[in-house]
Structure 1
């Protein structure tokens, strides 16, 4: 065992649908918004504590929201797939299809905060960077929890029986292959006869809609032919479950309380929860930065918090990337992935600011 027992993770990314609206409310959007709401409340407290105009926080929030969304979207398009998006510029606007890069969001924030500081003589560029650094990691934690609810930005296989099996795509596969399936659930099973290295036996339970009955021939075709082919064909499924190479697929069908049920035994592939690693790291960084500001802001020099934030954040990002899947296939051909290459200059900027903040008298 490494960090924890195996967890099978398959939450719906959608919370509910508002009547009359086509797009449902999703966890990612809610947590994204929650991050900025929490950040705004903390900034109210910071501004009030330091005698600044609290009303400026509303304008600051607007600068940051626009900067993060636009910067993160442009960053994803230009850093990871520039050829496609430059040839299809209107695709850049389709933010609802996904694709945000934290490095782009960071660059957008640096530009936006510079423009903001130009309009507020009592808030120098470095002063506002120090304060915004505290809440940025709070927003980052919420966004990464949103990624977890979306089952995206997943980690590499742990190679052990500990980790998370991201089973959402598996659930979707079964329902797409047979729309008569009403419910899909997962459980870990103790079956040492089908254990393979880095994989854990798990049971998939299917509940069909009322009135559905599986004939032996249909069940044989579906479970022994259709399902194995689908696992091999769909990469998003095959990287989370596998069929035992020794015993093949094991299944059973039965009626219970007037409904058709079926169970399928497969092997789950536990992976590192990359989103959770980053979310927890962001929470820790928030506590560190908030503690330093609250207890030592009269002793530290301007720029110290921002420099420390940059060093911690991009160091963490560089390390965690070793445990995460690459966002694009071409990244496998380079020594470090794009996220790591982009983190290096960010880290250097933070280190330079941190060193300089040790050598100068604090200014505001």
Structure 2
């Protein structure tokens, strides 16, 4: 049995001001997005030929960051604590209190990329195909931030690597944050980076992201402790699983439609 190291959630103390690990994880995700995106533009020439430049990438990050933050917060308020925030709508703006939803952030990013596509005269699916392989590094970093903070812990377990989170109780649990780091971060990145290493039918890379993330998240949720204020929902599934199922279904549909088209960006 392992014990959570009880990291200090503040990475850097500057007097009364502190830089939190979770904020640094967001920064890592955004920097990785830029670095990997520039590499793709320089080395995968079909992207530069389709209109992608360093300036385009910078603008896409700006739109995407707004989508992540606004969508993630609104999604959390809507999907997880709707009744509370309906009574306290002003607290939706209190980002420092925590509470972000991946699925809300995902919807926010799609809306932001749709607006970006209209502004730039690019195709929506073409943009999403370019962006999708750049996202898992940020997802993995976010899950590592959850682990450092000792939040979003797993269900009770007797596996050899089960971990006690002393700030919660003395029960050995699945380190579900690390499972998500591995699957949604490392494995999904490798899968998408490999698949997108040559021109594919438009929409197929996006489809693989939907299938991969939705499938991995659905599986890991079986080891993750449901939110106390929600518990398990219909059919014994968590909110995260119910939100992930449409992603998988949409991904399969999009993959079938995309593979009927010729390879293009």
Q: TM-score, normalised by structure 2?
A: 0.92
User: Which of 9, 14, 24 is matched with 2:10 structurally?
Assistant: 14
Off by >2 Å, runs of 4+ in structure 1? 5-9, 47-50, 159-162, 328-335
Shift in Å, 1:328: 3.5
Q: Deviations over 1:78-105 (max 9, x none)?
A: 1011111011111100110100010000
Q: Which residue of 2 aligns with 1:35?
A: 29
- Sort the Cα spacing of 1:30 and 1:358 in 2 relative to 1 into closer, same or farther, 3 A: same
Aligned positions of 1:36-185 closer than 5 A: 36-49=30-43, 50-51=47-48, 52-121=52-121, 123-160=122-159, 162-167=161-166, 169=167
Structure 2 unpaired stretches of 5+:
none
Q: TM-score, normalised by structure 1?
A: 0.68
Q: Deviations over 1:233-261 (max 9, x none)?
A: xxx3xxx22xxxxxxxxxxxxxxxxxxxx
Q: Which residue of 2 aligns with 1:279?
A: 181
Q: Which residue of 2 aligns with 1:186?
A: none
Shift in Å, 1:333: 5.1
Shift in Å, 1:117: 0.8
Question: Which protein shows a greater Rg?
Answer: 1
Pairing 1:291–2:215 present: no
- Supply the distance in 2 between the matched residues of 1:48 and 1:33 (Cα, whole angstroms): 23
CA contact (8 A) 2:4 2:150 kept: no
Q: Deviations over 1:251-301 (max 9, x none)?
A: xxxxxxxxxxxxxxxxxx22111111011112111111112222x32xx21
User: Which of 243, 253, 261 is matched with 1:352 structurally?
Assistant: 253
CA contact (8 A) 1:48 1:54 kept: no
- Supply the distance in 2 between the matched residues of 1:351 and 1:161 (Cα, whole angstroms): 35
Pairing 1:308–2:208 present: yes
Partner SS state of residue 362, structure 1: coil
Tell me which protein shows more helix as a share of its residues. 2
Shift in Å, 1:8: 3.7
- Supply the distance in 1 between the matched residues of 2:22 and 2:86 (Cα, whole angstroms): 27
- Supply the distance in 2 between the matched residues of 1:88 and 1:333 (Cα, whole angstroms): 24
CA contact (8 A) 1:161 1:270 kept: no
- Supply the distance in 2 between the matched residues of 1:328 and 1:338 (Cα, whole angstroms): 12
- Sort the Cα spacing of 1:18 and 1:355 in 2 relative to 1 into closer, same or farther, 3 A: same
Tell me which protein shows more strand as a share of its residues. 1
Report the aligned-residue RMSD.
1.5
